[in-house]
Structure 1
Amino acid sequence: MSSANSEEEYLNPRDLEVRLHYLGKEFQKLWVRLGANKRVSHGRLSDLPDSLITHILSFLPTKDSIKTSLLSKRFRNLWLQVPGLELHSHGLSDSVSIKNFIHRFLEINRDSRLPKFKIKYDVCNNVYLFGISKLIAEVINRGVHQLDVGTPNRPFTKDLMPLDVYKSNTLVSLTLANVGMASPQFDVSLPCLKTMHLEDVMYSHEDPLFIEKLISGCPVLEDLTVCRVFDDNVPVLRVRSQCLKRFCVKFGRDRKIFGKEYAVEIDAPGLKYMNFRDDLSDRVVVKNLSSLVKIDIDTQFGTGTLQMKKAIISDFLTGVSNVRHMIISQPTLEVLYSCMKQGPFPKFRNLTRLEASFCTVLLKKLPHFLEGFPKLKHLTLVLFYLLYLKDLKPENLELTVVPYCLLSNLECVEVKEVTTVEKPGKKRARYPYIKRTKLSKHKKKIWIELVRYILENSLVLKKLVLCFSPVTNSVLEISLALPTFTVRSPGCEIFNHLTSL
């Protein structure tokens, strides 16, 4: 991690888990290299104690650790001592096979804990959660630390997690995907749970307080991810936690139950990072987010009218106004600009780093947008050439207003480009389907005016980075135009190169 990010090392409170994840990847690569030469692998591994070998094997899927039984007699049953189990049902024909395999493994390790249990099952192979739920309950009661259960398909109503999942004294990480959960009739007690990831989970009965009850039983929860599905039976996602540091919510607008209202409420005084991608909730409430350092926003703020969205947006932005680092998407900016016509944009007086995606139509409003960030130091602009064929006539981009941050704080600007073309009433088409000359002229004018505006109005700028799409032919033209611009900040360095975007 670079020193430039030192003040934002909060960005992922799961740094330790992330490092362990990548360490596991390195172990996998090492194992492949050793496996390529059995003589070498056997010679090196023979020098290691069993405890270290089984620890290394715990980073591999169980099917891969089983393969090591072919190395030598010593390794024949060593995989059975691995402190963890990771299964995928595509290797087993049905739930009976999985049950037998898990039962055998637990029997052999009946006197030891099982820190990790991961199972991915596929209903297409006649594997159902209800067939192995008792074994999952046993794993939970054996003191599992990391539990990961999921399927790529939508859950069956009978596919319910055992109620033991709500009362584990050892569970540290819980990941559930496309499974069912029943609302417990007792208080949830997960005293050690720090990370919880719920993806497309179906709750058996409509209970607006389900998530709140679940979180209330997790006194040390730091990292929560909820990927919602339109019929999950939880109309209100209420997140209240004193210890939560990282929260991600995703709720796409692919489908919606007609007449049903969705809402999200967030009250987390210790929250450091939030990723908000909720497009269906028409009521959004955020409270006590004064500790928020980074936010990633990609939402259109519900499905209501513009007047309804205006109130939601105003309250939301005010609630996160203390944030220091913001990432904001193009769809969100489009909604914000529509609302900005009816009132001023909130001030973010602590924000120093901004990453924003602009389409060319909205770029002319960039200066007004930047007026909301008086202490901005680092700006990243992602330009989308979102054009309609009827709008390809080149027009000058006139930027005249100069926000305060350009005159006093802005030190680094990075501009990236992405080319996308829209045809009215049709699916999105790619760049090659329109005349290169028209788009090239349009892009050239936008680039030249934007670069000129930045260089001629930024008084303390230290670095300007221009990242061109590989399909563009504007690199040379911009480079030739640079000497004609007035650079107001002495010593400003300019870099231009191609990007993979």
Structure 2
Amino acid sequence: MSISASEMILPATKNNVKLSVSENQDRLSDLPDCVILHILSFLNAKQAVQTCVLSIRYENLWKRIPVLILDSSESNFRTLKIFTEFVSNVLSHRDSSISLQTLNFKRKHGRLEPQIIKNIVDYALSHNVQQLGLCFNGNTVQTLPSMFSSQSLTHLNLSIYASGGDPAWFPKSFNLPALTNLRLENFIFYIGDDDRAEPFSIFNRLNNLCICNCVMLHGKILCISSVTLVNLTIHSPYLNYYKIDLCTPSLCTLVFTGTPFQKLYGSNVSSLKHVDIHAEVKQYHEKSPLLHEKSPLLLSRWLREFANIKSLTVSATTLQVLSLIPNLSQISPPSLGNLKSLKVKMEELTPGFRMTLLDAKLYNAESKNERKRLRKKFKEEGSGSLIPDGIVNFLLQNSPSAEVEFIDCTNQPPRAIDL
């Protein structure tokens, strides 16, 4: 008895999928192959292969999908062995004449053999993949030099965790001439002899860059140098002190989330027009009490670098961080003379964030009576005021034309850090 390729990939699939013939299904079958392939591209690979049981027409249709989404989550595969066998079969039975537009691979829990990752990446590159996303445990990035010499890659999304969840080292050399979008999560940048890291200057077509949970060890300056970069997103939750030097003459939009522990300078950011800041503060620590002073002051200095921006979006937590600056009325306000729009995202303050705010204010209090008053106010206010008194006026002192808009985000899900 002959066995189809689809049955080898997903044993007993027909017993696990309930078929129902309906008017809607008939309408779907009337669509041309190109439309159905586009629809199947939104499914993960397992779901796409399972469509082979719908009819004879679908038996081999999945092999021509230009997008592969390989997700090894427990809901899709019971064991790692089953997943690796599935991946091997999918790659071997897919129509090799069809170019691969996108491949996304995700393995958040458990370690993989480096050869598995290598096989996936080599297959993608040999089929001229344009968008590649990899999320896994294990610092096999160093064993994949072919990935960093691809002529077809335009989008690269890397989220790689080494042993123990430590960051992985970002490669020193690569050649990706077509790359326009880059997202990096959990990487360490190499430092040169001048205490500088400049990992992005080689990308001649880079438009969008997202740096998430990336660090520098013992380095002083992270230079983001690109004449083509338009959009920059930085997510920095770590206590990692260094200077960010923006050599980005085409930069239009800057988004920051996390705790501002970096000094930000703009060697050439006159083109910057839109800034979005979602700042937080770390928990109070007796060994580092000045953290509550450092972050707010650095944040206020950032705003002075954005003199030419036209729109500024801030979260309620960002305004709370700014309010921690001692003697705020004596601090020079930002010179946002060209600002046309200030948007304030009204988000609920979490109990942990409110407690951190209280600790910071108690540290800055000048007397026991003041600390007693703060504790009483904290207990009585419950969730507390989202917007500190006078902080919006502080931002707009030099912005006569700016319009203020308050956006209710209290029921929205947490924001995603993505390109």
Query: Normalized against structure 1, the TM-score is what?
Result: 0.59
Given the alignment, which residue of 87, 90, 93 partners 1:105? 90
Shift of 1:61: 1.6
Given the alignment, which residue of 305, 310, 320 partners 1:324? 310
Q: Is 1:224 the counterpart of 2:209 in the alignment?
A: yes
Alignment match, 2:50: 67
Alignment match, 2:71: 88
**Aligned equivalents of 2:269, 2:184: Cα separation in 1:** 22
**Which residue type is aligned with residue 44 of structure 2?**
P
**Aligned equivalents of 1:191, 1:329: Cα separation in 2:** 37
**Which residue type is aligned with residue 271 of structure 1?**
L
Alignment match, 2:30: 47
CA contact (8 A) 1:95 1:132 kept: no
CA contact (8 A) 2:52 2:61 kept: yes
Alignment match, 1:345: 333
Shift of 1:285: 2.0
How many aligned residue pairs are there? 341
SS in 2 for 1:55: helix
Q: Is 1:165 the counterpart of 2:190 in the alignment?
A: no
**Which residue type is aligned with residue 102 of structure 1?**
V
SS in 2 for 1:121: strand
CA distance 1:161–1:271, change in 2 (3 Å): farther
Which stretches in structure 1 are left out of the alignment for 5+ residues?
A: 1-34, 383-415, 419-468, 470-498
Q: Is 1:189 the counterpart of 2:215 in the alignment?
A: no
**Aligned equivalents of 1:119, 1:305: Cα separation in 2:** 38
**Which residue type is aligned with residue 389 of structure 2?**
L
SS in 2 for 1:54: helix
CA contact (8 A) 1:95 1:131 kept: no
Q: Deviations over 1:349-405 (max 9, x none)?
A: 11111023684783245444432211113x1247xxxxxxxxxxxxxxxxxxxxxxx
Shift of 1:145: 1.0
SS in 1 for 2:57: coil
Shift of 1:307: 7.5
Alignment match, 2:402: 376
CA distance 1:326–1:67, change in 2 (3 Å): same
**Aligned equivalents of 2:128, 2:222: Cα separation in 1:** 29
Q: Which has the larger radius of gyration?
A: 1
Shift of 1:134: 3.2
CA contact (8 A) 2:231 2:251 kept: yes
CA contact (8 A) 1:134 1:162 kept: no
Given the alignment, which residue of 78, 98, 105 partners 1:119? 105
**Which residue type is aligned with residue 320 of structure 1?**
F
**Aligned equivalents of 1:234, 1:94: Cα separation in 2:** 41
**Which residue type is aligned with residue 343 of structure 2?**
E
Q: Deviations over 1:169-194 (max 9, x none)?
A: 111211122345554454x2212222
Alignment match, 1:299: 279
**Aligned equivalents of 2:305, 2:236: Cα separation in 1:** 20
**Aligned equivalents of 1:49, 1:197: Cα separation in 2:** 35
Q: Deviations over 1:173-217 (max 9, x none)?
A: 11122345554454x221222222222x234x854689733x223
CA contact (8 A) 1:269 1:290 kept: yes
**Aligned equivalents of 2:392, 2:61: Cα separation in 1:** 62
CA contact (8 A) 1:130 1:160 kept: no
The answer to which structure, 1 or 2, has the higher relative contact order (CA under 8 A, 6+ apart) is 2
Q: Is 1:355 the counterpart of 2:343 in the alignment?
A: yes
Q: Is 1:271 the counterpart of 2:257 in the alignment?
A: no
CA contact (8 A) 1:281 1:301 kept: no
CA distance 1:167–1:127, change in 2 (3 Å): same
**Aligned equivalents of 1:305, 1:55: Cα separation in 2:** 50
Q: Deviations over 1:283-307 (max 9, x none)?
A: 2222322222211113369985687
CA contact (8 A) 2:281 2:292 kept: no
SS in 2 for 1:137: helix
Alignment match, 1:143: 128
**Aligned equivalents of 1:63, 1:193: Cα separation in 2:** 29
SS in 1 for 2:58: coil
Which stretches in structure 2 are left out of the alignment for 5+ residues?
A: 1-17, 163-167, 283-287, 347-384, 414-419
**Superposition RMSD on alpha carbons, in Å?**
3.7
CA contact (8 A) 1:99 1:132 kept: no
Q: How does 1:232-247 map to 2 (within 5 A)?
A: 236-247=221-232
Given the alignment, which residue of 149, 174, 179 partners 2:156? 174
Shift of 1:281: 2.8
Q: Deviations over 1:389-446 (max 9, x none)?
A: xxxxxxxxxxxxxxxxxxxxxxxxxxx697xxxxxxxxxxxxxxxxxxxxxxxxxxxx
Alignment match, 1:198: 184
CA contact (8 A) 1:295 1:326 kept: yes
**Aligned equivalents of 1:273, 1:248: Cα separation in 2:** 8
CA distance 1:49–1:241, change in 2 (3 Å): same
SS in 1 for 2:205: coil
